[in-house]
Chains A and B, each alone.
Chain A
Amino acid sequence: MYNKGLIVSGLVIFVLLVTFPIWFNGLDAGPLPKPELPPNGTKECVAPAAEMRDRHMQLLNEWRDDVIRNSSREKIVVAGVEYGKGLQLACMQCHSNKEKFCDSCHDYAAVQPTCWECHITPDEAAKKEAQ
């Protein structure tokens, strides 16, 4: 092999650079987010927590298509309480603090969903009320 030293040291530098975020943080992914449980004390969600964690975004898209496209707006009943299909109509009725619930994981995972560009959080509504 020609230029063995150059190639091997180059590879080592490359791997170190690529893995920079991992070793720079001391092989630690930081404290895991702890999303706030519903302040109103509700225990049951529309689906089990594990499923919601995995696919709440798909569920929201399905609800959106049901309500807007297919005009199927039948209520969802969880533990005797009726919810309309929708971020504002269902989710935020219990998870009323977007900053402490939604944002906690979204910030950790560095995703920026555009939901709240249009959908109103209780906090936003309270701010408008105060004006």
Chain B
Amino acid sequence: MMDNKRRKFLKMAGATVLAGISAPAIVKLSSNPAVAAGDGGHEAPAAAHAATDTHDEEQSSGVRLGMVIDMRKFYQNQGMLDEAIAACIKAHNVPQIPDPKSEIKWIWKAGFGNVFPEHSQKLRSEKVKDNQFPALCNHCDNPSCVKACPTKATFVVEKNGIVAMDFHRCIGCRFCMAACPYGARSFNWQDPRPFIKEYNVNFPTRGRGVVEKCNFCGERLALGLEPACVEVCKGTGAMVFGDLNDPHSEIRKVLDQEFTIQRKPAAGTKPSVFYIV
């Protein structure tokens, strides 16, 4: 009798173990077609590919502020670019630190190869080789920095699509700097105040251990002003600022007429800054 019971128990136990081991595999196999169709794991790249084929990327709804930089205006007038940068520095108390390892940049000058590393550098025209290009935060529609930020110190402003920062909340982890494909973020390795030449008393400085970047002049837009750099180029059309989602905006007219390029489109961040080169 005892033996009979033990044999039965062992059989049951064996069957249970087998069922337990094989169950996940069976579930996986039976639901595999569903994964391919429903989960989107394979669907998404195909859809993205189709979208780029027709040049009709999925866009965010609502206001999405962007900028077109017309380099043809800056080729003739590189001094204007310096003025635009100076206006930004003054408006935002940006420190001027000589050491390139700890410098702070909101809008800065760089060569074509640095701004557009994905484009071929060979046999470029003289004006492209000889001129400096403005680079700034692209206020991406799909910003990788926002995803990287563990404290939500960097976030997208719902009202206008600006990728903004709350310096109060930044813990200085610099994940955003690693995530940004454009090098548009700078870290304050030291107290920036000694490196600020002139204070704008209506704007704060930053403290040590905080990341900073261009804010598309959110504080000026609230006062009905244009961004500081755009204001400097007023009347020349060198920098056109406006809502990318409004088909009647000035910026959209420029984008409709001119061939523009973006920085590192392959990064998939959907930058909002366009260049006419």
Contacts and interface: CB of A to CB of B under 8 A. Distances in A.
A124 interface: yes
B201 A64 contact: no
A89 B198 CA distance: 18
Interface string A74-93: 00000000001000110000
A27 to B, nearest CB: 40
Given A117-B207, A128-B196, A71 B218 contact: yes
Given A68-B164, A88-B204, A114-B207, A124 B199 contact: yes
A89 to B, nearest CB: 6
Interface string A40-74: 00000000000000000000000010001101010
Contacts of A120: 93, 199, 201, 204-205
A119 B199 CA distance: 11
Interface of B: 93, 155, 157-160, 164, 166-168, 193, 196, 198-199, 201-208, 210, 218-219, 222
| Interchain residue pairs A-B with the least CB separation, the first 6 | A117-B207, A118-B204, A73-B222, A71-B159, A68-B166, A119-B204
Given A88-B201, A118-B204, 11 more contacts: A64-B168, A68-B164, A68-B166, A71-B159, A71-B160, A71-B218, A71-B222, A84-B202, A88-B204, A120-B199, A120-B205
25 contacts: A64-B166, A64-B168, A68-B168, A69-B155, A71-B158, A71-B159, A71-B218, A71-B222, A73-B219, A73-B222, A84-B202, A88-B202, A114-B207, A117-B207, A117-B208, A118-B204, A118-B205, A119-B204, A120-B199, A120-B204, A120-B205, A122-B201, A125-B201, A128-B198, A129-B199
